[in-house]
Every structure is written in C-alpha cells, then in structure tokens.
C-alpha cells in the first residue's frame, strides 16, 4: 500500500524525466524509464502472489527491488542532466570546423588556439556521452537482475512448512544487486 502511494507521488517527476530525456534525444533512456516501471510493477505483483505483505521477506524483497529501481531512475536523471549540459555542442559542426582548420595548413597562433579550444569542447562532449552510455548499461544490468529475481520468486516453492533455498538465493542476489546499483549511482555522481 505504501509502495503504491510512493509510486503515485513519483509519477509527475517520472513524467517530467521522460519529457527531459526526449528533449535531449535519449531514446534509450525513455525506453528504459518505461521498462523499469513495468519490471518493478511485475516484481511487486509476483511478490504479492508469493508472499504475504506482512512477512519480513516480502518487505525485504520489495524494499530491495525498489532501491534497484530508484537507483536506475537516478541514473536516468544523471543521463538527462549530462546530455543537457552538452546539448548545445553540435559535434558535426565541430568536426567540420576542425577539419577545415587542419586542412588550411596554416600554423599561425590564432588557428592553433581555435583548434585547441574546439578539441577541448569535443572532449567534453565525448566524456558526457560516454558517461551516459555507462549509466544506460548499468540500468540494463539492473533490469536483468529485476527479471531474474522475479523469475526466481516465481519458481521458488512457497508455503507453510516448506523451506526455500531458491528464495534465499534470490534474496541474496537482489541484495547484492541493490548494493552494486547504489555503488554505481555514487560513482556516477562524482
């Protein structure tokens, strides 16, 4: 119940994030935003069918899955900000100007200074685009882990009097993923 309320409160921010990702041309990020929401909802649905909402294991799974989901959302926010920061750099125009300057063969000071400045701008653009690519790969890893955890829960034997090694392993896997996602998010913010 609390998870649903939190998700409803996040909805306007998520819609705004989706629009921001569209504005900066991050189609993969837009697709991930939708997939993440659906995967988290699927995981929640499997949990509701497998465990009682009052159980400690249910809360641990749901809380951990939510942290993975939120870390991936944080990555998308970072991606949008990074792309927006270099959105005014036209890499084709930049490359064209660099080719033109280098093609002139003139080595006077102002041309060299312009080449250096343009190369710095290109490097800045490349760093931000590479950072975004790394964040999107992290999200793919997180989505795969959510799918694996959902599948493990679906396959786990549940019921009174039955121990479930599969459930314990799935919980450990999801906990490890959450820690990795938090570490990736912390590294990405640097």
Q: Dihedral through CA 49, CA 51, CA 52, CA 57, nearest 10?
A: -150
Number of domains making up the chain = 1
| Mean pLDDT across 89-104 | 90
Q: What Å distances lie between residue 147 and 63, 110, 112, 140, 170, CA to CA?
A: 16, 56, 52, 11, 11
Q: 36 vs 62, 75, 99, 159, CA distance in Å?
A: 14, 12, 42, 29
pLDDT score at 118 = 95
Whether residue 1 has pLDDT greater than 70: no
CA distance 146 to 118: 42
| Local confidence band at 32 (pLDDT 50, 70, 90 cut-offs) | very high
pLDDT at residue 56, rounded to an integer: 85
How far is CA 99 from each of CA 122, 123, 126, rounded to the nearest angstrom? 13, 16, 17
Residue 164 lies in a domain: yes
- For 126-152, write each residue's pLDDT tens digit: 999 999 999 999 999 999 999 998 998
Looking at the predicted structure, is the pLDDT value of residue 166 above 70? no
Report whether pLDDT(159) > 60. no
Give the pLDDT of residue 129: 97
The answer to whether position 15 is within a domain reads yes
In a domain, 125, yes or no: no
103, two tokens? 């093609």
Rounded Cα–Cα distance for residues 130 and 159 (Å): 47
Residue 97, domain member (yes or no): no
- Across the chain, mean pLDDT equals 85
pLDDT band at 109 (very low <50, low <70, confident <90, very high): confident
* DSSP designation for 160: T
Within-domain flag for 154: yes
In a domain, 64, yes or no: yes
CB 42 within 8 A of CB 150: yes
CATH number at residue 149: 1.20.930
Residue 113 within a domain: no
More confident residue, 26 or 182: 26
Q: Decide if pLDDT at 160 tops 70.
A: no
Place of tokens 């190369």: 119
The SS3 of residue 9 is helix
**Full residue range of the structural domain in which residue 52 is found:** 2-88+135-188
Residue 124 lies in a domain: no
Q: What average pLDDT does range 88-105 have in this prediction? A: 89
Hunting for tokens 């930049």 — which residue is that? 94
């Amino acid at each position: 119940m609390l998870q649903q309320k939190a998700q409803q409160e996040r909805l306007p921010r998520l819609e705004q994030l989706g629009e921001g990702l569209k504005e900066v041309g991050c189609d993969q990020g837009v697709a991930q935003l939708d997939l993440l929401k659906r995967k988290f909802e699927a995981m929640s649905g499997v949990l509701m069918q497998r465990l009682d909402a009052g159980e400690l294991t249910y809360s641990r799974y749901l809380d951990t899955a939510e942290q993975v989901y939120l870390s991936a959302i944080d990555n998308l926010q970072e991606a949008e900000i990074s792309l927006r920061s270099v959105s005014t750099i036209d890499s084709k125009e930049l490359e064209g100007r660099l080719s033109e300057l280098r093609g002139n063969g003139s080595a006077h000071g102002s041309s060299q200074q312009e080449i250096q400045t343009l190369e710095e701008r290109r490097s800045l653009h490349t760093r931000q685009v590479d950072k975004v690519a790394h964040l999107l790969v992290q999200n793919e890893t997180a989505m795969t882990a959510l799918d694996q955890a959902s599948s493990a829960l679906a396959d786990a034997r549940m019921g009174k009097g039955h121990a479930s090694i599969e459930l314990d392993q799935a919980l450990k896997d999801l906990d490890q993923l959450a820690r990795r996602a938090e570490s990736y998010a912390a590294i990405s913010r640097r």
